[in-house]
Chains A and B, each alone.
Chain A
Amino acid sequence: MFELKQLWVIFRKEVSDAIRDRKALMAALFLPVFMAMTTSAGVLLLIKNVDEASDVELPVVGAEHAQPLIQWLQENGVVIKAAPEDPVAAVAAQQLDYALIIPEHLPDDIRAGEPADLWLVLDASRQDLMQKVYTIKRLVQAWSSQVGGLRLLARGVSPQVSQAVVLQDVNVANSQKVASKILGGMPLVVLMVMFAGSIGLAADVTAGERERRSFEPLLINPVSRRVVIYGKWAATQLFALIVTLITLALQLIVARTLPLSELGVRFDLGISEILMMLVIIIPVVFMGSAIQLFVAIFARSFKDAQTYMGLLVMVPMVPGIYVLMNPGDYELWQAAIPLLGPQLVLVDLFGGVLPSPQAAAIVIAEALLLGLAFAKLTEWKLKQETTIYG
């Protein structure tokens, strides 16, 4: 009872101490916002690329001379616009990206069965437009061979005779894949922010005490090392948890607000998935904070501790990249690998799938055990005279 009271005293002191460290606090709270902005920017960029490829605008001169072609283009998603009087000059001056010129005599040529000339005005040095130019060319060619095919049919010849080979595109640039990787990266973002967000506090309550030489007076009080570490641990957990939850909330908002469906990605989380995320994240915070304290207590100064823990932020990245490279199912034993397990389970949850109860149980139990083990190690380190007087 007395020890619980002492734990509360230490926890309260560390929390109010940390809240007064405005700079560190702002940095920690900025992180989730920054990560949300990064994720949104990534998704928006993807959507923009997809949109640009599908919505092709085409300024046309003389559209009235080739109504069937214009109709065909419109049916295939091309937006026809009126072109200025002198499209060649406009394209040369880069006022216009490109333009299609349909000559007045086109209907006559077609009726006569002669090849009619169309002109696509373009600036070949503008590589960024080639995707759209390619789309237009492809569509015009397709219309041309359709009309040509009809002519052959009218003369009793199969249109297939005119084709020696047919080149089919196999497009592997799948925006859905990329978008699902963004979702798959969200657990990594959450874990990294969890480690990064409480660095300041974890360093201050351990290495900071060493640097200020305040461990000695603190430990002269009748308080056990375990209570000291647990109080500091609880404060670190609170901060890590707040920052992690803000990050998670913002990531979910980003995923829900952005038109992910345009990329063909389904993002549809129920309350049970979100609750399950919390059930996973809380023990992981419990473990992460203990690891931070353990690493930080080896540092003699606040600055050293920050350096060590800056490296610690990188640790979740190794399994994180593995997860990104190997989306999909995982074996149960993989859930038992520290820091990989939580990410695998969270990727499932972000995808709207509840993980298997065994995998969730393994991740939770392991995080709790590792948390206790690292807290015990930190306590052991605090018992060394060199930690207090070193």
Chain B
Amino acid sequence: MINIERLEKQFGSITAVNGIDLSIEDGKITGLLGPNGAGKTSTLRMLYGLMRPSGGNISVDGIDVVSQPQEVQKIMGVLPDDGGVYERLTARENIEYFGRLHGMSESSLKTHTDELIELLDMHTIAQRRTDGFSLGERTKVALARAIVHQPKHVLLDEPTNGLDVMTTRAVRELLHRLRDQGRCILFSSHLMHEVENLCDRVIIIARGNIIADGSVREVIETARARTMEEAFVTLACEGEASHV
């Protein structure tokens, strides 16, 4: 369970996040949508404790992110929007490195690494150094190392970026599985069909404000649109316009 209250972030004179109130439940997949520069990535960065909010509070399972970032990070798994893998380490070593930093025991680390290699179909690349991996292969490694410690909260910034159809399906299945285990999943995306297929709840933000919040059906109805894409365009444009 993630609770956000009046969250604000300013970069100089620019307001990236403008007083967001939000609570994200366990056992659901929540999608965060918004045009470029809407404040999605800033919101996520503040959630996982690497960016300090200018104002407001964030707590994860009742733990305050700003004062106890490491306690929150222990129960969180994050795939950032742009994160490099270590090229001289193999895919498996990359995953194990992060698992060990979480203090996992060697036996549980092996079990869960094997499981993720299986789920993400990484058998052929697991023992290879990640130098020369395709974007999709890198994303798989980054995803696996982000959730190898079985976090209760999973934050993903555009997880299916650059993935082929097969891998996208694998990621989708993985997210369903994590949700069915009762975990709290928040992810951002640009891909409307993905949001439609995957999300139990959709939040659209524009210019640092929430402009729509509800199930896919509810959001489409609010916008009086036929598809999610239409709804997004309508709402996002309104959101932009209301501030001009």
Q: Which residues of A contact B (CB under 8 A)?
A: 2, 5-6, 9-10, 13, 16-17, 20-21, 209, 212-214, 216-224, 385, 388-389
Q: Which of B140-189 contact A (CB under 8 A)?
A: 142, 145-146
Q: List residues of chain B with CB within 8 A of the CB of A6.
A: 100-101, 103
Other A-B contacts than A217-B83, A220-B49, 14 sampled, CB-CB below 8 A, are A9-B97, A16-B89, A17-B89, A212-B84, A213-B84, A214-B83, A214-B84, A216-B80, A218-B101, A219-B50, A220-B76, A223-B101, A385-B50, A389-B45
Whether the Cβ atoms of A220 and B103 lie closer than 8 Å is: no
Q: Confirm or deny: B204 has a beta carbon within 8 angstroms of a beta carbon on chain A.
A: no
CA–CA, A213 and B50, complex, Å: 13
A93 to chain B, nearest CB (A): 63
Check B222 for interface membership: any CB of A closer than 8 A: no
- When the two chains form their complex, are residues B82 and A213 in contact, meaning their CB atoms are under 8 A apart? yes
Contact of A21 among B70, B78, B88, B142 (CB under 8 A): B88
- B71 lies within 8 A of chain A by Cβ: yes
* A216 and B103 contacting across the interface, CB-CB below 8 Å: no
Q: Are A222 and B71 in contact (CB under 8 A)?
A: yes
- Are B102 and A20 interface neighbours, CB within 8 A? no
Enumerate chain B residues within 8 angstroms of A213, measured Cβ to Cβ. Answer: 82-84
A217 touches B146 (CB 8 A): yes
**CB-based contact B70/A216 at 8 Å:** no
A212 contact set on B, CB distance < 8 A = 84-87
- Which of the listed residues A20, A218, A221 has the most CB atoms from chain B within 10 Å of its own CB? A221
> Do B70 and A223 touch across chains, with their CB atoms under 8 A apart?
yes
Chain A residues contacting B135 (CB-CB under 8 Å) are none
Q: Contact at A221–B84, with CB atoms within 8 Å? A: no
Residues of B within 8 A of A218 (CB): 101
Instruction: Closest B residue to A204 by CB, please name it.
Output: B88
Residue B191 at the chain A interface, CB threshold 8 Å: no
Whether A17 contacts B80 in the complex (CB less than 8 A), given A9-B97, A385-B51, A385-B52, comes out as no
Q: Could you tell me if A217 and B78 are in contact, using CB atoms closer than 8 angstroms? A: yes
> Could you tell me if A220 and B48 are in contact, using CB atoms closer than 8 angstroms?
yes
B73 sits at the interface (CB 8 A):
yes
> For chain A, what secondary structure do more than half of its interface residues adopt (helix, strand, loop), or is it mixed?
helix
Residue of B nearest to A13 (CB): B97
**24 CB < 8 A contacts A-B:** A5-B103, A6-B101, A9-B97, A9-B100, A9-B101, A17-B86, A17-B89, A209-B84, A212-B84, A212-B86, A213-B83, A213-B84, A216-B83, A217-B83, A217-B84, A217-B98, A217-B146, A220-B80, A221-B98, A222-B70, A222-B74, A223-B70, A224-B70, A385-B52
Q: Are B80 and A221 in contact (CB under 8 A)?
A: no
Contact with A along B62-94 (1 / 0, CB 8 A): 000000001101101010101111111100010
Chain B interfacial positions (CB closer than 8 Å to A): 45, 48-52, 70-71, 73-74, 76, 78, 80, 82-89, 93, 97-98, 100-103, 129, 142, 145-146
Nearest-Cβ distance from residue A57 to partner chain B, whole angstroms: 59
Whether B84 and A220, one on each chain, are in contact in the complex, defined by CB atoms closer than 8 angstroms, is no
Nearest neighbor of B81 in chain A, beta-carbon distance: A216
With a CB–CB cut-off of 8 A, which chain A residues contact B103? 2, 5-6
How far apart are the CA atoms of A389 and B16 in the complex, in Å? 15
Q: CB-nearest residue of chain B relative to A211?
A: B84
Q: How far, in Å, is B185 (CB) from chain A's closest CB?
A: 16
B49 neighbours in A (Cβ, 8 Å) = 220
Residues of A within 8 A of B52 (CB): 385
Instruction: Using CB atoms, name the residue of chain A closest to B145.
Output: A217
Smallest CB separation, A203 vs chain B (Å): 14
A222–B101 contact, CB under 8 A? yes
Within the complex, the shortest CB–CB distance from A240 to chain B, in Å, comes to 20
Q: Specify which chain A residues have a CB less than 8 angstroms from the CB of B88 in the assembled complex.
A: 17, 20-21
- Using Cβ atoms and an 8 Å threshold, which residues of chain A touch B101? 6, 9-10, 218, 221-223
CA distance A88 to B55 in the complex (A): 99
Q: Which B residue sits closest to A231, measured CB to CB? A: B101
Using CB atoms, name the residue of chain A closest to B73.
A222
Complex contacts, B70 vs chain A, CB 8 Å: 222-224
**Assembled-state Cα–Cα distance A388/B45 (Å):** 11
- How far is it, in angstroms, between the C-alpha of A373 and the C-alpha of B90 when the chains are bound? 35
Nearest CB in chain B: distance from A24 CB, A: 10
Return chain B residues, CB-CB under 8 Å to A20.
Answer: 88, 129
Partner among B48, B73, B78, B85 whose Cβ is within 8 Å of the Cβ of A214: B85
**How far apart sit A290 and B168, CA to CA, in the bound complex (Å)?**
44
